[in-house]
Amino acid sequence: MGFVGPEEGETGVRRATSKRMTDSWLMEQIQPMDLIKFGFIPEFIGRLPVVAVLEELDRDALVQILTKPKNSIIRQYQKLFEFENVRLKFTDEALEAVAALAMERKVGARGLRMILEDLMLDLMYYLPSYKKVREFLVTKEMVMTQKINMALLEKAG
């Protein structure tokens, strides 16, 4: 395909049995001529100054996206619940479960908000009627079942 990798035979042809021959490794090696051979027109390729390959985010990266930025999704929900005088907390396992769901559904970082919105919708609706609730902890079980445990709210409220 217009490139020769580090594990080549005597003829300069890559061995097909090599373990390093993965899709992501091959994508990293793409040259403009490869795209032309694949069917892209040269005028289009000339307008692409750089060909970049992106890999899927892993679970740790998704958890960081949930928690690290100044306006992260988790902080936005915590601020929203502060308006109701409730401190919202997530266990580490719950955050990892949200990231795992995003990976399982193959929705990436954009899907994190969708997963959390599905989870928090009932809580945002029912929480104002429970005036005694001052703190709510989201657990892994709640994330996996996508249901807020209303029994916890009833006990506290």
- Any idea which residue has 């769901």 for tokens? 101
User: 91-100: string of b/e by CB count within 10 Å (b at 16+)?
Assistant: eeebbbbbbb
Residues counted in the chain = 157
Task: Give me the half-sphere count of Cα atoms (radius 13 Å) on the Cβ side of residue 30.
Answer: 18
Cα separation, 33 vs 3, in Å, equals 10
How far is 51 from 45, CA to CA, in rounded Å? Answer: 9
Mean of the per-residue pLDDT values of the chain = 82
| pLDDT single digits (tens) 72-123 | 999 999 999 999 888 999 999 999 999 999 999 999 899 999 999 999 998 8
Asked whether 86 and 80 are in contact (CB, 8 A), the reply is no
Q: List beta partners, residue 39.
A: none
Residue 17 or 54, more confident: 54
Where does the pLDDT of residue 151 fall: very low under 50, low under 70, confident under 90, or very high at 90 and above? low
The residue among 90, 101, 91, 99 whose CA lies nearest residue 63 is: 99
Asked if residue 102 lies in contact with residue 115, where contact means CB atoms within 8 angstroms, the answer is yes
